């Protein structure tokens, strides 16, 4: 089954705005159009966009409760209290813990510091009663929770009864009642006036160490932790705008110039795998947001999916290459296991859909199988959406309950849909496009029926088809080294600032069309004037026959560098094709 995409070309901004910006920047109107589409209309805004400045980061004390958090940490340090750094088992959680724990251990007695990552299978997501019990046994009196806790009111109350204070550093949406912790840092609080609302969990952790650094007059270079922050930004798919853009820009510089030992080990593994597969895309020198998303983040995540998330923290705070090598090797084995499970379970899920007309023809997909591996159900949900574009939930059995992950399609709020099924769920949480849930096994059938009803009642017709957004329609003669050089300065790319997608119509292949890999096209696009540009079209092998017969095509694509055998050439990365 091949899902056809709706192509959506952005409307061109006002001509006067484009011309004014072109004049101010002395640049091509195509570049100015792309900038104005991104809300950049003045010389000063363009300067901030192209030259992010760490001085433009906001004062961390603008965040609600930051003063309380710092006072409580200072009190704990001066009174030699035991402090536990607590975070989730995903990339955002483990990078957050590595950052705050690593920063504190530079000036706090390590005997007074510990970190804790909940077990994905026995404890689940977020703060757990088990984690609090462990802290109490260790005589911990302060827990700093990162990337979790904003809805853990019952857990915070339980900790208070055990004389343990919490500082919550979270970026998820709060409920009406804020937990009664010593401090709650979350820009999404209604009463928080912090100017930027889209920080990752690790980003909140970075604001915390910024505040500590200035309040304690430590004069430390906290930018050395930005490789962890950019890893969280990429993996958690937060918007790369505003403050996140600055943090990501300098975080990528850190990863490319002098990454910490643990991240360097992950990069070493990546290079080894690339050289084995001889894949050009894997051997490019400059690490990008995309490289983190598809290469570094899955390996960090694999620790929590297959074994335990604490291994990821141990890698990220490793101080010797020998230690990092051993942990990195184990995590890479975990990642290979994760890939095998992902492939196997995805195949089983797709087979269930193919053999069940009700599921196949429904507006949602909810699948349950008790022996599926809990660590990969979220990945499998995303894979299923690639083939059957509809809100999807993959459930398995864990500790006598059904537990799983939801993924959604563009503009459909899966978290809001789950709220309408809340009476059938024991717990749930997450975002508009991704969520997790736990329910009793006997409720699985009723939940499948209810979720389908809710989706059917709320999903709009346009949400049933994936959209390929296109920035500009251009001709091939616009594409040259200078144009590409300026486009690269639009990076780092991600939500809120995606790599520009272009449309060019009525092209032919010059005659060297071939299939590479499993289902990819390698070709050279030529227009009616004979101008040609090499191109790659991943997973679009179904167009081989019509293109080989000389049928003209329209393509939408990114422009990128193709690094091969130490030679760099321009290449079109084709996202979709229409005959």
Q: What is the pLDDT of residues 548-567, one digit of tens each?
A: 999 999 999 999 988 777 77
Q: What is the pLDDT of residue 64?
A: 98
Quote the domain boundaries for residue 410.
356-464
Q: What is the pLDDT of residue 142?
A: 98
* CA–CA distance, 100 with 143 (Å, rounded to integer): 12
Per-residue pLDDT tens for 229-278?
999 999 988 999 999 999 999 999 999 999 999 999 998 877 666 655 55
Are 108 and 41 contained in the same domain? no
Are 90 and 44 contained in the same domain? no
Q: Is there a domain that residue 566 lies in?
A: yes
* CA–CA distance, 567 with 283 (Å, rounded to integer): 12
Q: Is there a domain that residue 249 lies in?
A: no
Q: Is there a domain that residue 335 lies in?
A: no
Are 501 and 405 contained in the same domain? no
Domain boundary among 464, 482, 512: 464
Are 78 and 207 contained in the same domain? yes
Domain boundary among 225, 248, 268: 225
Are 472 and 459 contained in the same domain? no
Q: Is there a domain that residue 286 lies in?
A: no
Q: Is there a domain that residue 235 lies in?
A: no
From first to last of its 579 residues, the chain has per-residue pLDDT tens of 567 899 999 998 999 999 999 999 999 999 999 999 999 999 999 999 999 999 999 999 999 999 999 999 999 999 999 999 999 989 999 999 999 999 999 999 999 999 999 988 788 778 999 999 999 999 999 999 999 999 999 999 999 999 999 999 999 989 899 999 999 999 999 999 999 999 999 999 999 999 999 999 999 999 999 999 999 999 988 999 999 999 999 999 999 999 999 999 998 877 666 655 554 444 456 899 999 998 899 999 888 777 788 999 999 999 889 888 988 888 888 888 888 999 999 999 999 999 999 999 999 999 999 999 988 999 999 999 999 999 999 999 988 999 999 999 999 999 999 999 999 999 887 778 888 899 999 999 999 999 999 999 999 999 999 999 999 999 999 999 999 999 999 999 999 999 999 999 999 999 889 999 889 999 999 999 999 999 999 999 999 999 999 999 999 999 998 877 777 889 999 999 999
Are 213 and 113 contained in the same domain? yes
- Contact call for residues 213 and 219 (beta carbons, < 8 A): yes
CA distances from residue 338 to 91, 372, 383, 398 in whole angstroms, order as listed: 15, 12, 14, 18
Domain boundary among 438, 464, 490: 464
Closest among 573, 566, 483, 563 to 525, alpha carbons compared: 573
Per-residue pLDDT tens for 483-492?
999 999 999 9
* CA–CA distance, 314 with 94 (Å, rounded to integer): 9
Using DSSP bridges, classify how beta strands 467-470 and 6-9 pair: parallel, antiparallel or unpaired.
parallel
Partners of residue 569 on adjacent β-strands: 562
Under DSSP, is residue 298 helix (H, G, I), strand (E, B) or coil? helix
Q: Is there a domain that residue 280 lies in?
A: no
Are 459 and 488 contained in the same domain? no
Q: What is the pLDDT of residue 250?
A: 98
**Direct distance between the N- and C-terminal alpha carbons of the chain, in angstroms, rounded to an integer:** 18
Environment class of 339 (CB within 10 Å of its CB; exposed 0-12, middle 13-18, buried 19+)? middle
Buried b (16+ CB within 10 A) or exposed e, 38-47: bebbeeeebe
Are 12 and 85 contained in the same domain? no
CA torsion through residues 328, 329, 335, 339, sign: positive
Using DSSP bridges, classify how beta strands 82-87 and 140-146 pair: parallel, antiparallel or unpaired.
parallel
Are 70 and 209 contained in the same domain? yes
Are 99 and 221 contained in the same domain? yes
Q: What is the pLDDT of residue 120?
A: 81
Are 456 and 483 contained in the same domain? no
Q: What is the pLDDT of residue 283?
A: 45
Are 460 and 378 contained in the same domain? yes
């Amino acid at each position: 089954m091949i899902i056809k995409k709706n192509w959506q070309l952005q409307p061109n901004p006002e001509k006067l705005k484009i011309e004014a910006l072109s004049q101010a920047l002395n640049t091509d109107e195509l570049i100015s159009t792309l900038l104005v589409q991104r809300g950049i209309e003045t010389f000063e805004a363009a300067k901030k966009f192209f030259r992010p400045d760490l001085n433009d980061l906001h004062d961390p004390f603008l965040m609600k409760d930051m003063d309380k958090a710092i006072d409580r940490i200072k009190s704990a340090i001066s009174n030699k209290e035991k402090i536990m750094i607590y975070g989730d088992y995903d990339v955002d959680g483990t990078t957050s813990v590595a950052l705050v724990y690593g920063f504190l251990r530079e000036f706090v007695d390590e005997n007074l510091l510990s970190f804790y990552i909940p077990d994905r299978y026995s404890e689940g997501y977020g703060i757990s009663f088990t984690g609090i019990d462990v802290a109490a046994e260790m005589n911990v009196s302060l827990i700093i929770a990162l990337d979790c806790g904003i809805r853990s009111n019952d857990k915070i109350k339980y900790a208070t009864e055990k004389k343990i204070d919490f500082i919550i550093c979270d970026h998820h949406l709060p409920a009406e009642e804020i937990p009664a912790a010593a401090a709650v840092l979350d820009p999404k609080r209604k009463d928080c006036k912090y100017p930027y609302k889209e920080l990752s969990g690790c980003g909140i952790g970075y604001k915390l160490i910024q505040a500590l650094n200035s309040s304690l007059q430590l004069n430390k270079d906290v930018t050395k932790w930005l490789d962890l922050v950019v890893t969280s930004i990429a993996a958690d798919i937060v918007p790369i705008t505003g403050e996140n853009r600055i943090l990501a820009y300098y975080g990528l510089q850190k990863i490319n110039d002098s990454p910490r030992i643990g991240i360097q080990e992950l990069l070493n593994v990546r290079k080894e795998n690339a050289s084995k597969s001889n894949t050009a895309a894997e051997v490019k020198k400059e690490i990008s947001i995309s490289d983190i998303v598809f290469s570094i983040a899955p390996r960090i995540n694999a620790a929590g999916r297959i074994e335990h998330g604490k291994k990821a923290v141990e890698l990220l705070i490793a101080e010797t290459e020998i230690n990092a090598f051993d942990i990195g090797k184990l995590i890479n084995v975990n990642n290979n296991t994760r890939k095998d499970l992902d492939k196997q379970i995805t195949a089983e899920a797709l087979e269930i859909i193919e053999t069940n007309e009700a599921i196949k023809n429904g507006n949602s997909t909810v699948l349950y199988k008790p022996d599926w591996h809990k660590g990969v159900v979220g990945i499998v949900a995303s894979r299923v959406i690639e083939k059957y574009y509809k809100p999807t939930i993959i459930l398995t059995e864990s500790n006598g309950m059904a537990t799983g992950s939801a993924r959604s399609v563009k503009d459909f709020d899966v978290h809001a849909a789950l709220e309408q099924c809340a009476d059938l769920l024991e717990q749930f949480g997450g975002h508009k496009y991704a969520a997790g849930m736990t329910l009793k096994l006997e409720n699985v059938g009723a939940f499948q029926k209810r979720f389908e009803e809710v989706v059917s009642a709320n999903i709009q017709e346009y949400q049933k088809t994936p959209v390929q957004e296109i920035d500009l329609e251009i001709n091939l003669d616009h594409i040259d080294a200078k144009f590409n050089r300026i486009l690269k300065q639009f990076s780092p790319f991600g939500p809120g600032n995606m790599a520009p997608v272009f449309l060019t119509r009525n092209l032919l292949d010059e005659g060297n069309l071939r299939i590479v890999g499993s289902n990819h096209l390698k070709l050279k696009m030529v227009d009616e004037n004979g101008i040609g540009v090499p191109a790659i079209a991943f997973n679009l092998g179904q167009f081989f026959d019509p293109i080989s017969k000389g049928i003209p095509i329209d393509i939408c694509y990114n422009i990128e560098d193709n690094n091969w055998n130490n030679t760099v050439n321009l290449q079109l990365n084709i996202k979709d094709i229409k005959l």
